[in-house]
Structure 1
Amino acid sequence: MGKVVVLTGAGGVLCSTLAKALAKKGHKIAVLDLRLEAAEKVANDIISEGGIAIGVAANVLEKQSLVDAKTIINAKLGSCDILINGAGGNHPLGTTTNPYLLEKDLLNGTEGFKTFFDLDSKGIEFVFNLNFIGTLLPTQVFAKDMVGKKGCSILNISSMNAFTPLTKIPAYSGAKAAVSNFTQWLAVHFSKVGIRVNALAPGFFLTDQNRALLTTENGNLTERGNTIIGQTPMGRFGEPEDLISTTLYLCDDASSFVTGIVIPIDGGFSAFSGV
């Protein structure tokens, strides 16, 4: 019998792909997203292919919103067995203009130009909260359903940034490092009540959030995109489908003795020294 799987941020490209893959394995899917329309679209796609799914609006930064979503899910699908914390993202206010600070940058008055000293604290707070608090709060709400049951697990979404921070995005890198650390902490904390906790660390995938940073309007790579591909031994960006097999493994009883790990899915990026 299928398990009840709750995915946050599941209106996006990556987690919607995971939602559909899990539905094909017979699981009942709760598609959570800040945008109800996006959540319902993914749920309807699953239903149209014979799966069981509901779309639910939820804000991962508001606990009451998550509690309300849980009430709906429990009534329509049952109690949560698997939680995938997929909500996250970056923000321009937490991003520097250049990868390195030069003395002349301190005199640059160009509108929108930002050095480390110009980063907006509210922007950094938003990025950190979205990624870390947006993982913590759903876990507080939905993991209560899992205590004492068998075959329950949590899957967080970390990033390559958690291993080695990327230039220009200190807020996002720091937040994902916190997610990886939190994954290990939770794995230990929940080890006596039957809940496993692991994480994926995707490399570079083209999504709606980063497409403009990595490709030009005509589809060519930007300078940053070329740098990434040059540092990725497999020589390509990841496809959403590349996340499926590891997700299915970590959510399945086949990994019943696996907890507290963060798995890179990055085409070799984290293994490459650059030479």
Structure 2
Amino acid sequence: MMQNEKVAIVTGAGGTLCSEMARALAKNGVKVALLGRDIGKLKIVEEEINSSGGISLAISTDVTDQASVENAQGIILEKLGVFSILINGAGGNQTEAITTINEFDPKELDNNDPNFRGFFNLDMNRFMDVIKTNSMGSITPCFVFGKTMAKNGGGSIINIASMSSFRALSRVAAYAFAKSGMVSFTQWLGAYLAPANIRVNAIAPGFFLNDRSRKLLTTSDGGYTERGASIMRLSPMKKFGEAQQLIGTMNYLLDDVASGFVTGVTISVDGGFLANGGI
């Protein structure tokens, strides 16, 4: 896939998965704008790309805030030029929005222990934060950058969905709520923007390890936690994904020849997780 002279925007580019996507784009000659809140993490990726001969620019951005995204857009247009690729990878979860139990326990009705969280003693402010980050954190960039792409004749948008887009995974209600909506939004926007020559698709990664999930799913001796072992039981390929294994799907969705008739779809890269009924 040759993308010479193209410019891409990658949000959440300091993270494990999207930093790999950004590096892969740069290796194909794409100039990459790296967006996210943590400028320190973005600068690490920027240095890796630029020292390897690529072109990238790190911009601290709150992707849920329209003014912040518009500010980033001005910098991108000035420094890198007209863009035609948007990858919405910003997202994540918060501990205070995740239950520590899988089903209702009467103890949650009168319990202020922060280490014991049922649905009824979650912090609803943090719950809403997770929903906002994982919904408006992609919708706002689509709104701002998509408008410019439409003015410039088209492009391609990739949203990042999740296994929780398709299954109500235990403990992560806020995250699942937002990510399931991202599949629907991808379908809606793909249909809506087709006349603007903008294809909108999504990738739903299975279980990939990053700093946060490694602590939740693995043990220090190389084994699995209870939750990690449950995932392995439901994963036919019996392993976690590696970030590089998303690149082929990304390249396919960005290729206007190979996927030129594809829009509004979500492709799972999950080691067979969704194919397994669990029986």
Give the shorter-chain TM-score range.
Answer: over 0.9
> Which residue does the alignment assign to 1:203?
206
* Aligned 8 A contact 1:5 1:81 in 2: yes
143-152 or 191-200, which moves further after superposition? 143-152
SS where residue 219 of structure 1 aligns? coil
Count how many residue pairs are aligned between Structure 1 and Structure 2.
Answer: 275
Distance 1:64 1:149 in 2: 21
SS where residue 150 of structure 2 aligns? coil
241-250 or 51-60, which moves further after superposition? 51-60
> Which residue does the alignment assign to 2:251?
248
Give the fraction of aligned pairs with identical amino acids, expressed as a percent: 46
> Which residue does the alignment assign to 1:229?
232
Distance 2:202 2:177 in 1: 16
Distance 2:190 2:275 in 1: 25
- Correspondences of 1:52-91 after superposition (within 5 Å): 52-91=55-94
> Which residue does the alignment assign to 1:261?
265
The equivalent position to 2:190 in structure 1, one of 187, 190, 193, is: 187
* Aligned 8 A contact 2:20 2:244 in 1: yes
- Correspondences of 1:153-172 after superposition (within 5 Å): 153-172=156-175
TM norm structure 2: 0.94
2:204 matches 1:215: no
2:147 matches 1:144: yes
Q: Post-superposition, which runs of at least 4 consecutive aligned residues in structure 1 deviate over 3 A?
A: 102-111, 148-151
Q: Which amino acid aligns with 1:255?
A: S
Distance 2:233 2:222 in 1: 17
Q: CA deviation at 1:145?
A: 2.1
SS where residue 196 of structure 1 aligns? strand
* Aligned 8 A contact 2:31 2:56 in 1: yes
Deviation digits for residues 58-79 of structure 1 (CA, Å, limit 9, x no counterpart): 1112211111111111011112
Structure 1's 252 and 2: CA in aligned 2 closer, same or farther, altered over 3 A? farther
Consecutive unaligned residues of structure 2, counting only runs of 5 or more, are none
SS where residue 204 of structure 1 aligns? coil
* Aligned 8 A contact 1:151 1:252 in 2: no
Q: Which amino acid aligns with 1:144?
A: K
Q: Which amino acid aligns with 1:134?
A: G
SS where residue 255 of structure 1 aligns? coil
Structure 1's 26 and 272: CA in aligned 2 closer, same or farther, altered over 3 A? same
Distance 2:189 2:140 in 1: 13
Deviation digits for residues 71-115 of structure 1 (CA, Å, limit 9, x no counterpart): 111011112200000000011121111111244554666552111
* Aligned 8 A contact 1:95 1:168 in 2: yes
* Aligned 8 A contact 2:111 2:121 in 1: no
Q: CA deviation at 1:150?
A: 5.1
Structure 1's 37 and 108: CA in aligned 2 closer, same or farther, altered over 3 A? closer
Q: Which amino acid aligns with 1:260?
A: G
Q: CA deviation at 1:149?
A: 4.2
Structure 1's 145 and 110: CA in aligned 2 closer, same or farther, altered over 3 A? closer
SS where residue 146 of structure 2 aligns? helix
2:21 matches 1:18: yes
> Which residue does the alignment assign to 1:2?
5
Structure 1's 111 and 159: CA in aligned 2 closer, same or farther, altered over 3 A? closer
Q: CA deviation at 1:197?
A: 0.2
Q: CA deviation at 1:118?
A: 1.0
- Correspondences of 1:23-42 after superposition (within 5 Å): 23-42=26-45
Deviation digits for residues 246-271 of structure 1 (CA, Å, limit 9, x no counterpart): 00110111211100000110000000
Deviation digits for residues 131-167 of structure 1 (CA, Å, limit 9, x no counterpart): 0010011111111221154561100000010101100
* Aligned 8 A contact 2:108 2:120 in 1: no
Consecutive unaligned residues of structure 1, counting only runs of 5 or more, are none
Structure 1's 67 and 168: CA in aligned 2 closer, same or farther, altered over 3 A? same
* Aligned 8 A contact 2:162 2:179 in 1: yes
* Aligned 8 A contact 2:14 2:36 in 1: yes
* Aligned 8 A contact 1:60 1:135 in 2: yes
> Which residue does the alignment assign to 1:271?
275
Q: CA deviation at 1:51?
A: 1.0
